[in-house]
Amino acid sequence: MSLLIGTFTIGFILSLLALGVFISFRIFAFPDITADGSITLGACVAAILLVHGVTPPLASVAAFLAGMLAGACTGTLHTRFKINSLLSGILVMTALYSINLHIMGKSNVPLLSVNTLATQSERIGVKLMRGATRFNLAGWDVSVRDASVLGAIVLAVVLTGGLLYWFLRTNLGMAMRATGDNVQMIRALGVNDGNMIIFGLAISNGLVALSGALLAQYQGFADVGMGIGMVVWGLASVIIGEALTGTNQLGMTIIGAVMGSLLFRLLVAVALRWGLSPNDLKLITAAFVFCALIVPQFLRKGRQRSAHA
Amino acid sequence: MLEVQSVSKTFNAGTPNEVRSLRGVDLQMAAGSWVIIIGTNGSGKSTLLNAVAGTFPVDEGKIRLAGRDVTRWPEHARADLIGRVFQNPFSGTSPSLTIQENLSLAALRGRARGLGWGLKGSLVARMRDEVARLNMGLEDRLHNAIGSLSGGQRQALTLLMATWLRPELLLLDEHTAALDPKSADLVIELTERVIAHDELTTLMVTHSMHQAASLGDRLIMMHRGQIIHDFQGAEKRRLRPDDLLARFEEVRRAEQLDESAAQMLVENYV
């Protein structure tokens, strides 16, 4: 049971990464590799602030802001200096590797002895359960610690998702969505599309960094290598979410990204339990995204062929 | 209202693909006038429209609009003064956004966009009225994504969006060329109604000799990046499609004459 709860907790934490990737890849059609660096950046910033005694919520907000800055850099490289979108992300991601090492001062910062969002929510959970450390949920024996951490992260994801949904329906948010959809139109309506891309990537990477900050606090350490392959992970979640919801309505796509992240994490957990070597995880993830990208093409071709027959 | 002063634009300058699209074009438009531009392919008529809209910076010359020198303004800054409808019906709307979201974007053309709610009740109520007036049955489909509509419907909505806030200048770039005849008639009817009702200043490029003869109060004919004819007042009102075709034929003959004369010179003297 605690394994399942742990799986869902990480799934929800990484759903923020999925939302970030959803903004860059789907709303702006911008293949933003920065996320690999900004998820680590979020973890590093949060970790080092926590070690220095900053309160966990404040450290998480700082991580979000640091991620925004990284995203804004990528956006600026692309829009102001006309650097190819993929290359802009690669440049910032590479630079972030050194920056992350500088922030932490070493390649790994443990958080086992400091106050984090996980320990805070655990304390609140224990208080609510009047001191009990385990409770019975529909026949399952559940640890209060695991459940309260999951509860806190669900709350955080619901809040963030709701906020994102609201934002994308404000005047500014709609202008951002239209920028990814039709640049010619949005310029003709007086929107500076370059600014929209910079701002959009800032929000995207802010969410990714927040996801990294929460992940570091949950797993109890920040590591300079934790971001490798995370863009592909987020993309896999978004693709699964689209398959699950099968619509392009805004609210449903946001819920879909969260659901996709949960399901993908669950699939990974099952695969690992069945004996998949953790070393092969990124290979399998990449292969999965590859399949998810080409299968629709084959389906379309197959459908055309049967239509001609 | 609009003053285009000796504007020139060369694309791919210094390369074998060099195209001198505009060669010192002068055009003065009075407020409330409706100027039609016709011309052969590559004559520079769309380029002139794009130069006014600010799609690219011009090489030489000045563009003044509503008393302001906009020559150096970027495209998005000019949008405050200009409403546009493009030739491609897909260019003027955002396909994955709904009809009402597209209209709400247009309701802030050229203005600052903040965190205000995009779809206020009063705005949506006005959308219903205005969209109902298009007679396309779209007023009950405001929640549908625009990408699901036909080209004619999208072009009608683009026109509504371009004129939602009264623009100082309306630019129409062959906005019916990609539509079927019935939709084209509908959009033209709508265009006439909107321009008359809001007393708009309009610059319109068209391929259709029929539209060129029947619409507008002034007609400009372009050829090779220059204005070669300018019909105004009574002269414009007398124009028939056949007259315009005859003018095109004249241009074509003059061109052939030029070319054959040049060839003769080359053969005999070089």
pLDDT in tens, A113-137: 899 998 898 888 888 887 777 777 7
Which chain A residue is nearest to residue B76, measuring alpha carbons?
A190
Contacts of A170 in chain B (CB under 8 A): 114-118
**Closest Cα partner for B4 from B55, B73, B51?**
B51
- Which of A24-38, A164-178, A281-295 bottoms out in mean pLDDT, i.e. has the lowest? A281-295
DSSP state of B140: G
CATH number belonging to the domain at A2-276, selected among 2.70.98, 1.10.3210, 3.30.1360, 1.10.3470: 1.10.3470
Q: What is the reported pLDDT for A143? A: 84
CA distances to A27, B59, B150, B159, B171 from B102, in Å: 15, 34, 15, 12, 19
Contacts of A191 in chain B (CB under 8 A): 76, 79, 113
The answer to whether the CB atoms of B105 and A192 lie below 8 A apart is: no
Q: What is the reported pLDDT for A36? A: 96
The closest CB to that of A174, out of B77, B91, B101, belongs to B101
Q: Is B123 on the interface with A (CB under 8 A)?
A: no
pTM, two decimals, is 0.89
Q: What is the reported pLDDT for B107? A: 94
Closest chain B C-alpha to A15 CA, distance in angstroms: 23
Domain assignments of chain A as residue spans, ordered by start: 2-276
Contact B35, B60 (CB under 8 A): no
3-state secondary structure of A215: helix
Q: What is the reported pLDDT for A308? A: 62
Residue with tokens 């409403």: B83
Residue with tokens 């398959």: A243
Q: Is the model's pLDDT at A309 over the cut of 80?
A: no
Contact B1, B13 (CB under 8 A): no
User: Exposed, middle or buried, A56 (CB in 10 Å: 0-12/13-18/19+)?
Assistant: buried
Q: Is B178 on the interface with A (CB under 8 A)?
A: no
CB pairs under 8 A between A and B: 90
The answer to whether the CB atoms of B94 and A177 lie below 8 A apart is: yes
Q: What is the reported pLDDT for B253? A: 83
pLDDT band at A138 (very low <50, low <70, confident <90, very high): confident
Contacts of A181 in chain B (CB under 8 A): 94-97
Q: Which residue out of B94, B109, B168 would a mutagenesis test of the A interface target, given it has the greatest number of A Cβ atoms within 10 Å?
A: B94
The answer to whether the CB atoms of B91 and A193 lie below 8 A apart is: no
Q: What is the mean pLDDT of residues A243-257?
A: 89
Please name the residues between 192 and 211 in chain A that touch chain B, using a CB distance below 8 Å: 192-193
Percent residues over pLDDT 90 in chain A: 71
Q: What is the mean pLDDT of residues A21-49?
A: 96
Closest chain A C-alpha to B222 CA, distance in angstroms: 25
The answer to whether the CB atoms of A185 and B92 lie below 8 A apart is: yes
The answer to whether the CB atoms of A191 and B76 lie below 8 A apart is: yes
The answer to whether the CB atoms of A189 and B93 lie below 8 A apart is: no
pLDDT band at A307 (very low <50, low <70, confident <90, very high): low
Residue with tokens 């998480």: A60
Which chain B residue is nearest to residue A181, measuring alpha carbons?
B94
Q: Is the model's pLDDT at A72 over the cut of 80?
A: yes
Contacts of A79 in chain B (CB under 8 A): none
d(CA A189, CA B78): 9
Q: At what angle do helices A34-51 and A56-79 cross, to 10 degrees?
A: 150
Q: What is the reported pLDDT for A196? A: 96
The answer to whether the CB atoms of A190 and B115 lie below 8 A apart is: no
Q: Is B102 on the interface with A (CB under 8 A)?
A: yes
pLDDT band at A153 (very low <50, low <70, confident <90, very high): very high
> What are the start-end ranges of the E strands in chain A?
108-110, 134-137, 140-143, 221-223
What is the pLDDT of chain A when averaged over all its residues? 92
d(CA A54, CA A124): 19
The answer to whether the CB atoms of B108 and A189 lie below 8 A apart is: yes
DSSP state of B141: -
Q: Cα torsion at A158, A161, A163, A167 (round to 10°)?
A: -160
Which of the residues in chain B have pLDDT under 70? 259, 262, 270
Closest chain A C-alpha to B111 CA, distance in angstroms: 7
Q: What is the reported pLDDT for A136? A: 76
The answer to whether the CB atoms of B91 and A170 lie below 8 A apart is: no
The closest CB to that of B104, out of A167, A174, A181, belongs to A174
Q: What is the mean pLDDT of residues A252-278?
A: 92
- Which of A85-89, A301-305, B30-34 bottoms out in mean pLDDT, i.e. has the lowest? A301-305
Q: Is A169 on the interface with B (CB under 8 A)?
A: yes
Residue with tokens 């407020």: B31
Contacts of B53 in chain A (CB under 8 A): 188
Contacts of B115 in chain A (CB under 8 A): 167, 170-172
Q: Is B86 on the interface with A (CB under 8 A)?
A: yes
d(CA A254, CA A167): 12
Q: What is the mean pLDDT of residues A233-257?
A: 90
Residue B218 is inside which H or E element, if any? strand B218-223
Q: Is A23 on the interface with B (CB under 8 A)?
A: no
Q: Is A161 on the interface with B (CB under 8 A)?
A: no
User: Exposed, middle or buried, B19 (CB in 10 Å: 0-12/13-18/19+)?
Assistant: middle
DSSP string, B91-138: TSS-TTSBHHHHHHHHTTTTS---SSBSS-HHHHHHHHHHHHTTTSSG
The answer to whether the CB atoms of A171 and B114 lie below 8 A apart is: yes
Q: Which domains does chain B have, with CATH numbers?
A: 2-93+152-221+233-239 (3.40.50.300)
ipTM higher than the 0.90 cut: no
Q: Is the model's pLDDT at A140 over the cut of 90?
A: no
Residues 6+ apart with CB under 8 A from A265: A7, A8, A10, A11, A14
Closest chain B C-alpha to A186 CA, distance in angstroms: 8
Q: Is A80 on the interface with B (CB under 8 A)?
A: no
